[in-house]
Amino acid sequence: MKPEHPEQRRNLLKFVAASAATLWLPHSAWSQPKFNSDPFTLGVASGSPTHDSVVLWTRLVSTIVLGKEAIAVQWQVAHDDKFARIAQSGQTQATPELAHSVHVEVSGLEADRWYFYRFMAGDAVSAVGRTRTFPARDAIVNRLRLAYASCQRWEHGYYSAYRHMLGENLDAVMFLGDYIYEYPGAVNAVRTPPATSAGGWVTTLDDYRQRYALHKGDADLQAMHAACPWLVTWDDHEVQNDYAGLQAGYTNALEPVSSGNFAVRRAAAYQAFYEHMPVRASVLTQALQGLAAGTEMRIYHRVNYGQLATFYMLDARQYKDPQPCTKDGKLGSSTFDPATCAEWPAPARTMLGASQEAWLSGQFNTARKDASHWNVLGQQSLFGQRDFAKGPEQLMWNDGWDGYPAARTRLTDSLRKNEVVNAVLLGGDVHENWVGQVKADYANAMSENIGVEFCGTSITSRSSNAARSRVDEWLGENPHFVFADNKAKGYGVCEFTPGKLTTTLRAVDDVTRKDAKIETLASFSVQAGRAVVERI
C-alpha cells in the first residue's frame, strides 16, 4: 500500500484510529464471520506499557479474512486467567487496510499490576496473554527483571531461546532490532519457509506482511510475547540490510529494486512493522502524511519504572547519515581506516538525527538524580569503540557508532552535562556479546567512565566464522571492554535493584535443535553510583 493520495491518507488515518480505539457499535455494523480456520494463529502480544496503560495486539489470519471487510473483534482484560473478574472489555475492528491487525490501547488500569487478556472474533477465541502495567513514577520499587534480545533470522535456527526465556520471571522484554530479515532463504538453512510463504526477497508491503507472519508463526516466540509486555525498536533488516535514513543499503545483484524508489519500500516496511508490533497508534499517525515521501514514523520514546528506572527507547536507523567510506564506493557498510576517511570526523554527522538528539538531551535534563535510579538506553548497536587492528593503526566498522564519532561524543557529553546517574546502554546488531564501560573519550583510555554497556548476541542470526579466533586480540586493543564472545546465541537478563545491576548472559547450546538447552555464559554486576562492570 502506498499512502500518497490525500484521500488514501485520510482513510488510513481513520483505520488506524479505529483499530486503536474502543468502539461500541452494533454487531451488525461489521462482519461477523464463522471462520473456517483459527484466525489467531499469529498469537497475541502486549507492549508499550506505562503505569496505567498497555497496548494489546493480535492479527487475524484466515482465508475468510483476506477480503475487504472490517472484522469486529472483542477484547477482554481480566484480573485472573479464567476471566471471572473482568477489569475492562470492549470491541474494535480489524481492517484489511492494516492487514486485519488489532492495536487496542487500554488505559485507566491500576499501576504495577499483572493482567490477563484475550480476543474474540466471530466464533473464535485467541490464546490468553499476560501483561502488566509499570509502577507509578514516584513508586518505590525494589526489583525489575528485564530481558534484552535481537536478531532472530528464522532460517538460521529455532527460537528455543524464547522457550527458556519464559522461565526467567521477567517483568518485560526489550527487543533491539532485526525482528525479521528481508533476505531470500539462507545457505545451509536450518528451517525452510513453506511454499505458501514469501520466501524470496522482501520488497513490497505484502512481502513484509508474509515475512512477519512467518516469524510470528513460531510457537516459542508467540509464548514469550504472551508472557509479558515488550518494548520494541527496529534496526536495518526490518527494511533492508544497512540502509541509512532514506538511502538504500547494500543491494545484492540478485535483489530486486522496488521501482527504483527506496522511500516506497521503506514506507511499506514501516507500515508492516506497525501492523505486527504492540506499539501505539501515535507512531503511525505521525507518519501518515507521506510515509512514501520520507516522513518519519516516530518510535523513540521514554517510559518510567517507578523510582527505580527510566527507559529511553531510541531509533538509530531512520535518521542516520549514510555510512562513511564504504569500500569501493558501494552503499551499505564495511570496515574502514579512520585515518584515510575525510568525512568520518565531520561534526554534523548523526546517528539519531537532530530532533531525536535534542529530545534525548531534554529527557536527560529532567532525569532523576537519585543515586539508586537507573537510566537505561535501548538502542540498536554496539556503542563503544571497537578497533579491529593491532597496534597504532585502526580498523573499524562504519555502520555502528564507530562510523559516527561526533554523534557518539554528543551523546556522552549530554550524559555528563546532565549528570545522568547509572547510565546503562543495551544494544544488539553485531550477533556477539560485548560488555564494558562507556568512556567519556575513547581516544583516551584514562578518561572517566560515564556508564556501562551490554551489547547482546543474536537469538539465531549467525556470526562471522572468520573472526571467531580473534576475540582475545580485540579485547586487548579495546580495554574498555571486559568481556566478549562471538559464538554463543541467546539473550541477556538484567536485574535492577536500588543498589545494584546484575546482568546474566544466557546461551543456548545449539540453535539448530528445537530442544536446545540453556546455560549461563557469564554474569556481571554494576554497583549503583559506580560505572564499572565486574564479572561475578
Report domain extents, the chain. Answer: 134-535
Q: Give me the count of residues in the chain.
A: 536
Reported as a single tens digit per residue, the pLDDT across 435-478 is: 999 999 998 889 999 999 999 999 999 997 655 668 889 999 99
Sign of CA dihedral 43, 48, 54, 60: negative
Q: Pairing state of beta strands 101-106 and 54-59?
A: antiparallel
Reported as a single tens digit per residue, the pLDDT across 410-425 is: 999 999 999 999 999 9
How many CA atoms does the CB half-sphere of 262 hold within 13 Å?
Answer: 16
pLDDT of 3 higher than 50: no
Quote the pLDDT of residue 445. Answer: 87
pLDDT of 24 higher than 60: no
Is the CB of residue 383 less than 8 Å from the CB of residue 429?
no
Out of 90-94, 291-295, 522-526, least confident range: 291-295
Residues whose CB falls within 8 Å of the CB of residue 182, separated by 6 or more in sequence, listed in order:
201, 202, 203, 208, 211, 237, 238, 239, 240, 241, 269
311: cell is 527507559
Alpha helices in 383-505 (DSSP H): 405-417, 471-477
CA 76 to chain centre: 26
Average pLDDT score, the chain: 91
Is the CB of residue 480 less than 8 Å from the CB of residue 439?
yes
Q: For 134-535, which CATH class?
A: alpha beta
Whole-prediction pTM: 0.94
| 3-class secondary-structure state, position 215 | helix
As a whole number of angstroms, the distance between CA 265 and CA 277 comes to 18
Reported as a single tens digit per residue, the pLDDT across 212-244 is: 999 999 999 999 999 999 999 999 999 999 999
Range 172-177 average pLDDT: 98
Q: Taking the CA atoms of the chain, what radius of gyration do you get in angstroms?
A: 22
Reported as a single tens digit per residue, the pLDDT across 235-273 is: 999 999 999 999 999 877 667 655 468 988 999 999 999
Range 136-141 average pLDDT: 97
Reported as a single tens digit per residue, the pLDDT across 476-513 is: 999 999 999 999 999 999 999 999 999 999 999 999 99
State what percent of residues in the chain have pLDDT above 90.
80
Sign of CA dihedral 117, 210, 30, 53: positive
Closest CA to 521 of 492, 482, 478: 492
